[in-house]
Structure 1
Amino acid sequence: MYAEVIVGIQARRLDRVFHYRIPLELANKTALGSQVIIPFGHKKVSGIVVGFTEKPDVNEDKLKEIISVKDSEPILNAELLMLAKWMSEKYGALLIDCLRCIMPAGIEIKMQEKYCLGPGVNRQSYELLAKSDPDLVKVVKILLDYPEKEIDYKKLLKLSDDEEKTRNHLKKLIRMGLVQKKQQSTSALKPKTERLVSLTSQGQALTEEEGASLLKFAPKQLELFNYLKYLNKPVLFSVLDSKFKGGLSSAIKSLEKKNLVKIESKVVFRDPLENVVFPPSVPPELTEEQKMVVEEITDKFRLGGHGVFLLHGVTGSGKTEVYMRIIEQIIKLGKQVIVLVPEIALTSQMIERLYGRFQSQLAVLHSGLSTGERYDEWRKIRLNKSKIIVGARSAVFAPVQKLGLIILDEEHESTYKQSDSIHYHAREVAIKRAELNQCPVILGSATPSVESYYLARNNIYGLHTMTKRVGKSLLPKVKIIDMREELKSGNRTIFSRELQIEMDRALREKEQIILFINRRGFSTFLLCRECGYTLTCKNCDVALTYHFADKILRCHYCGYLRPAPSQCPSCGGGAIRHFGTGTQRVEEEVKKLYPTARVERLDLDSTTRKGSHEQILNRFKRGETDILVGTQMVAKGLDFPKVSLVGVVVADTALNFPDFRAAERTFQLLTQVAGRAGRGDKEGRVIIQTYNPDHYSITTAAKHDYLSFYQQEIKIRKQLNYPPFTQLVRILISGKIEEGVAKLANDLAFIIKNSLSEKQELLGPSPAPLLKVREKFRWHMILKGKNTNDLLALVKKGINQVEKNKLIGNNQIVVDINPQDML
């Protein structure tokens, strides 16, 4: 039996299994999904066992042996390995990248190169070498001067004058025996342990009187002994440390020497919900629509097998309660449930709802947790200690053993699409994973993606609809304000007269307000009114956003910062003005209008600290904030009964994007943010400010009319041959030299065009709308066709050809299946 291993090196030419002999001493440890250390060429590398075979692909005498197995048990089970292989085929990604994507952060074994001086190399030999080869000796001097015996490879290169020369010198010095190279694996994450202190059998046998006599000259030891005797159970060292101030360690050591106490280690789980209290909730009575949906879906999954159900319910219709009733039945069957939310910001509210109903059966998985917390949550799930897993996109890979249901809340959100590394869509992965486990998937949304709704209307998915809000609350009344008319009438402020009247009324009646604008910062850009110069990012082809509070200009793509100038850097003039509107400016204008109102802002800039997002929302929930200004963070899934007014400051932001989904995104955002109003006893009102009052995405959103929007949008998609009527593959080429990027894009396009069938189409290549991001120029092209696999085959053929012809150079090619944005 031979192991099939995927090596931990990112290279397309190595994207296949390599066969290794399994030494006898590792036969019982080497399992499917294990991490291993293997020899590969002249190096040791990490790898993952993905299979076994009786017949290797090379002569058995040439096979190398696995060096070591790094896990006590496999980190990936057979189902997750199958999922990784499917992702590799579906998204045209390297299998090693897919495996890493599924593994929890920090658990992967990494090999580290270190260098040290050879035996007998010292200052004297250095001086001799310096005379014969002064250039070569520079590396030896770095090693001699370094305070530690060994130096990391990357550190060594940083300390050198010329990295390329240093690499060559190292090879020569190793051949001469003057420098030695060592490889070692970095330790992966380990379970957290805490010390437990308890009485030994001898200590337990002592009476209090005997203990007092024995320890009469050691009062601290006696106090500790009596406390442990009283509790009669092991106690955490950290608990004792907080109770016995000072002298605890020496007291324990003394008692240990007398064989009265013992110290043991206990594995504990880092719990992100440890200090959070959620009161238990009582299940409310379901509405008729909720009852019908719960019955329809549960009847279908009782029959067994895989199925996808689209739950289309208006905002406030009680979709979360439907989820919980179905989850309850899945748990009774002894199975586990994964609940996905589109971003970390929404996990706290979903956790509160689920914890209130199901208490400690929850686990949380998202990137906002520490690496240790995520690792422990991953372990709890794998050990079947958690029945419900809540998290953002990556929680779809939770290592559940008995998967019974996956729920995607707000399934339309573009944040379910991974934007770097592997461009996977969590919705597609969830559906495939449910298929592998023969269990259902529920996709929930008030504004389903056009693709999902199309599949539901064509009976590929089950369609379940809820048209009414829970209780007495009604959908809010929406009014569209034409800002062109406001300008004509002399109103040059960012707030229409109607919105100001409604804000006056809401504050007077002690109600809460949400103001939405999908732009961070104070203004969109700074411009010189004398010469027309716009301040742009030095690394990206975008205008810098002005942040008023810090008086800085920031790039929201690469993070570049610079102080806001008082004079134009181009002409030296003083007519620098800021244009456009962002969240900071809205916040400032609101504070000027209503100086006594309590105003807060919710965007990426205001939530950089851990827990700050929850703190802002909790203050708003408790009524400590009157007006909440925010980006799309305030538009999704939040439920605040005291909010009676929502103001959309600028509704046109998404409409102006060069993307065929622009109208859909606008409709979804407006409908979702409008849905935050009127969820309690008060009637909700929404003011939408726009310069495109007749656009169908805005007029249908104002009427809460998804069906009318869908009917108009689907006609346009069909005419232009866009999804769901075709499949798209975007190829993005990037690099530091624009001419090289453009040449590679044209060379690749030429190869692909020569292989196109009649029903396939290639758009481009052309410069990407964002030509430069993080110092790299970007060109792209779009492939259209009915079958994704056929399109991917064309792309792979093209990439293989340019690789073979050595045309890629230092440029990068990224393949994105059915992209969520075209920027």
Structure 2
Amino acid sequence: MATKRDDRTLKVADVALDAKTGGLHSVFTYAATPQMKVGDAVAVPVGPRTALGFIVGLREVSQEELGFPASQLKGAQSTISGFALPQEVIQLVRHVTEEYLCPLPVAITAALPPGAHGLITRAWSVRADADRGCESTLAVHEREVLAMLKDLGKPLVEPRTKKLDPGLLRALKSLRNQGFVEDSIVADVPTESRRAGVLLKLTDDADKIERFLKANTRKRPAQALTLVRLQEIDHPALAASDIRALCGVTETTIRALTDAGLLTPLQQDASVATPAHTPNRHQAIAIDALIAAVESRSLQRFLLFGVTGSGKTEVYLRAAQSALKMGRQVLFLVPEIALASQAVSLLRERFGGRVALLHSDLTASQRIESWMSVRSGEAPVVIGARSAAFAPLSNLGLIVMDEEHEGSYKQEAAPRYHARSLGEALSRIHSCPIVFGSATPSVETFHEADEDKITLLSLPERAAKAQLPTVEIVDLREGFRTGQPSLFAPRFVERLRETLDRGEQAILFLNRRAYAPFLVCRDCGFQFKCPNCAVSLSYSKRTHRLRCHHCLYQTSAPEICPSCEGSRIRVFGVGTERVEDSIRELFPDARVARLDRDVAQKRGALEQVLAGFAAREIDILVGTQMVAKGLNFPHVTMVGVVAADISLNVPDFRATERTFQLLAQVAGRAGRGQSPGYVVIQTMNPDHPALQRVVEHDYLGLFEEERAERAAVRYPPFVRLVNVVLSGESRKDVESASSEAAQRIRRANAEATLLGPTDCAIERLNNRWRRHLLLKLNPQEPLNWVGQALAGFEPHGVQVVIDVDPNSLV
């Protein structure tokens, strides 16, 4: 006899737990209630425990589709009010899952309310349908607890840091079992307002600031550096939390500056906007175009291409103002919060307490308060680094991605997304424009603008008619031709001496720390390498130690070669420490300091060096990329690049582009005051296109050359890259796994261009061998087949990472 088919359907909710709580594949199905919505935060049973999850889908299923008896389908214990994610955020999470081939629980982790798990607790309340006539049957202590709950007038929330009295808890459970009270899982979030309210600004007494800097640079370096950073902002008006994030200081430092009268409170109503500057003609064109797109809710993409100091931020602010007038929200992405002081200040000045600054330097309570203020709509303007793309925004009207070329927009840990892709997805989800801004755009972005896929808006004029620095290339090969090779060419030394004679300051840049990149035995050629990584150990003369900058392994520098027992062990190459020593020998009367990660890790050293340089207590500052970003030193008129070839020789197809961007950024440190700037670049390759274009300040020329090269060898923007990296402690296992991964990919798509498997440029890191495969795909080609090809591929002892749009191939 045929079994009768059950055609009834059930409404179910797909609930995702974050990967840390439930694992990589923790999306479970529960019975849904009519009130549930996608994005709701729910407490769900997972085995014997209760976990926080988020509804990522609601659907109707038949008994057959469910796969097990409906009676076994569990329901959510409660919906957690206040923690719901907007449906638009869930759509973004799904985009990350599909576009970057990562499990949904991994993607949703980035969107969770800050510290969500630590805020979950239980609340007890009187049931509305309780049978009051039966209260007389309760024990005395139970009646007392029930009366206490009634008098309280609101749920009793269990403290998160302290357990309820055992007797009280027993009474509550008994009352629950008898139907008088009920318990629910809730979020115990702060209720006070996060609005900025009082903003702080520098005192108008410039002499007072100068006296403080001269007297306290060494004694109070954190306070001094805070003043220096705020001095470079036009009309700074910031909340205390903003200053902490931008300057990397504590509340104690801010309070001390306020008590000293160096920071003064500025009362400002959030609804009162500071008058905007009058835009120049190029700005006006850009502003009109962006406002038109905002008002028409257009999906249009823009590239705001403007030289440094051309007023891009004012264009952003005018468009943001238009979005806010329409009742919509604004997302302002920056590469690093610490380098966004001017943008944060202008947003605060223009929009006051309606701005939420999302960053990791806030306290736990401040982070959740900021998140809640965005979710509630109290703060419709959000500024932050790449993770701010996951802010709980439900009605975006404008997205800004400033300095869009910066590599820090790529997340290097799972989920490995690029903020650009997230911004474009948000533009589609919210039906709003997105604007990318840069003086040196990525080749991929400018290519799209050149192909009319992105609207190009140009700002060719610098504010205040400031002049770009003069750039000179110095050929280091001349020293070898004449038999007198030197770390510094005569022209380099001459320019530096002229700078010091004028009483001005100089920055010398070398993107390599330590004294030398390695030691070598002159007798047998033995090199001292890291036992955990396939790299040489860097030598520090100050500590006479060898160190690996990847795994941090270190050991004393030997006097005798372990291979041949020879004693002629010598340094090879140059680092910032060696540059510092050499400069001290050349200019014994000059005040010289060094700033790199080795120096900065010492408590207070970063603040002391930068504050001292700002106070003109230092004449020459030697440093790595740390000196290329951020601060504005008006008395710096020379920037010297000691060896430009280091970044040019990185085995990555973006090496030329990144060198140009880095050197353009370094050059921007010179001539920021009244005196003209001068940049001297030393190189063994003076004819390299990147260096020649830096001399001419010619981004367009570099772009055309780079694009032609990439077209010839099929690299972005003409293809999309997927880098599959395999690593493990056994080299044999990694080699075997990489071969199997290649076979899986080729079976899935024989037409795809697959390079490898081969060893990574650094084949071993932290005692793990590394190999990779590089896929070159059509830019618009769906990537799901790659994920399907490697689905379930979990070789023993080998980690497999799929990196879509990799930022580095090293």
TM-score when normalising by structure 1:
0.74
Asked if 2 retains the 8 angstrom alpha-carbon contact of 1:31 and 1:49, the reply is yes
Structure 2 matches for 1:347-362, cutoff 5 A? 347-362=340-355
**2:371 corresponds to:** 378
2:24–2:106 contact (8 Å) kept in structure 1: no
Higher relative contact order (CA 8 A, sep 6+): 2
How many equivalent residue pairs?
668
**Partner Cα separation in structure 2 for residue 609 and residue 364 of structure 1:** 28
Change (3 A) 1:370 1:406: same
State the partner residue of 1:203: none
Q: Please list the CA deviations of residues 659-710 of structure 1 after superposition, one character each: whole Å capped at 9, or x if unmatched.
A: 1111111111112211222233211111111111111111112111111111
One-letter code aligned to 1:366: H
User: In 2, distance between residues paired with 1:402 and 1:614?
Assistant: 40
Q: 1:79 to 1:513 in 2, by over 3 A?
A: same
Paired residue for 1:460, among 445, 453, 459? 453
For 2:440 and 2:651, the matched residues in 1 are separated by 21
Equivalent in the alignment of 2:465: 472
Post-superposition Cα deviations, 1:236-258, rounded to whole Å, max 9, x if no partner, equal xxxxxxxxxxxxxxxxxxxxxxx
Q: Name the CA shift for 1:821/1:60 in 2 (closer, same or farther; >3 Å).
A: same
User: Does structure 2 conserve the Cα–Cα contact (< 8 Å) formed by 1:110 and 1:186?
Assistant: no
Contact conserved, 1:671 with 1:702, CA < 8 A, in 2? no
In the superposition, relative to structure 1, how do residues 470 and 612 fare at CA in structure 2: closer, same or farther (>3 Å)?
farther
One-letter amino acid of the counterpart of residue 628, structure 2: A
Correspondence 1:724 to 2:717: yes
Cα pair 1:75 1:103 within 8 Å, conserved = no
Amino acid at match of 1:512: Q
Q: Structure 1 pair 580/713, CA: closer, same or farther in 2 (3 Å)? A: same
> For 2:297, what is the secondary structure of its paired residue?
coil
- Of 524, 531, 545, the match for 1:552: 545
Cross-structure match for 1:819: 806
Map of 1:502 onto structure 2: 495
Residue deviations 1:762-790 (CA, integer Å, cap 9, x gap) = 10011111111112111101111215654
**Cα distance, 1:424 vs structure 2:** 0.6
Q: 1:576 to 1:742 in 2, by over 3 A?
A: same
Distance 2:728 2:322 in 1: 52
Higher mean alpha-carbon deviation, 602-611 vs 582-591, is at: 602-611
Q: How does 1:97-136 map to 2 (within 5 A)?
A: 97-108=106-117
Q: Does 1:3 align with 2:13?
A: yes
1:21 corresponds to which of 22, 25, 31:
31
- Decide whether the 8 Å contact of 1:31 with 1:74 is kept in 2: no
Identify if the C-alpha distance between structure 1 residues 448 and 637 changes in structure 2 by more than 3 Å, giving closer, same or farther: farther
Q: Does 1:33 align with 2:39?
A: yes
Pick which of 478-487 and 740-749 moved more: 478-487
Contact 1:109/1:186 (8 A) holds in 2: no
Q: Is 1:50 matched up with 2:49?
A: no
Partner of 1:191: 190
Quote the offset at 1:358 in angstroms: 4.4
- d(CA) in 2 for partners of 1:688, 1:571: 40
Give the distance between the partners of 2:658 and 2:491, measured in 1 at CA: 25
In 2 relative to 1, CA 649–357 (structure 1 residues): closer, same or farther, beyond 3 Å? farther
* Alpha-carbon shift at residue 542 of structure 1 (Å): 1.3
1:191 counterpart letter in structure 2:
P
Q: Does residue 781 of structure 2 align to residue 775 of structure 1?
A: no
What's the CA shift for 1:468? 2.6
Give the AA of the match of 1:755: A
Alpha-carbon separation, structure 2, partners of 1:111 and 1:525: 52
For residues 730-765 of structure 1, the C-alpha deviation after alignment (integer angstroms, 9 at most, x for no partner) is 11111110100100110111222233344x211001
Where do 1:644-683 residues align within 5 Å?
Answer: 644-683=637-676
CA distance 1:5–1:324, change in 2 (3 Å): same
CA contact (8 A) 2:81 2:187 kept: no
Q: Deviations over 1:337-361 (max 9, x none)?
A: 3222223441345434544554444
Residue of 81, 85, 95 corresponding to 1:72: 81
Report the alpha carbon displacement of residue 567 of structure 1 after superposing the two structures with TM.
3.2
Task: Name the CA distance, whole Å, in 1 between partners of 2:592 and 2:448.
Answer: 43
Among 789, 804, 807, the alignment partner of 1:798 is 789
User: 1:763 & 1:108 partners in 2: Cα distance?
Assistant: 43
Deviation at 1:658, TM superposition (A): 1.4
Relative to structure 2, which stretch is displaced further, 346-355 or 552-561?
346-355
Q: CA deviation at 1:442?
A: 1.7
Deviations 1:153-206 (A, max 9, x none): xxxxxxxxxxxxxxxxxxxxxxxxxxxxxxxx9998853989xxxxxxxxxxxx
The residue type paired with residue 84 of structure 1 is V
2-structure distance, mates of 1:506, 1:365: 41
Decide whether aligned partners of structure 1 residues 352 and 610 sit closer, same or farther in structure 2, where only a CA change above 3 A counts: farther
Does 2:306 correspond to 1:313?
yes
Displacement of 1:374: 2.9
The residue aligned with 1:409 is 402
Q: Calculate the TM-score normalised by the size of structure 2.
A: 0.75
1:90 equivalent to 2:82? Answer no
Report 1:381-396 matches (<5 A). 381-396=374-389
Separation of aligned partners in 2, 1:717 and 1:614: 42
Distance 2:408 2:459 in 1: 24
In the alignment, the residues of structure 1 paired with residue 362 and residue 562 of structure 2 have an alpha-carbon distance, to the nearest angstrom, of 42
Aligned-residue offset at 1:53: 2.9
Q: 1:701 to 1:271 in 2, by over 3 A?
A: closer
Q: Do the aligned residues in 2 keep the contact of 1:316 with 1:675 (CA within 8 Å)?
A: no
Q: Which one of 582, 589, 613 corresponds to residue 589 of structure 1?
A: 582
In 2 relative to 1, CA 683–407 (structure 1 residues): closer, same or farther, beyond 3 Å? same
Query: Matches of 1:354 and 1:612 in 2, distance apart?
Result: 31
Query: For the residues of structure 2 that align with 1:671 and 1:561, how far apart are their CA atoms?
Result: 35
CA root-mean-square deviation: 3.4
Q: Is the 8 A contact 1:557 1:773 kept in 2?
A: yes
Provide, for residues 343-382 of structure 1, a one-character-per-residue CA deviation record: whole Å limited to 9, x for no partner.
Answer: 3441345434544554444332233444444333323332
Gaps spanning 5+ residues in structure 1: where? 113-184, 195-267
Between the aligned residues of both structures, percent identity stands at 39
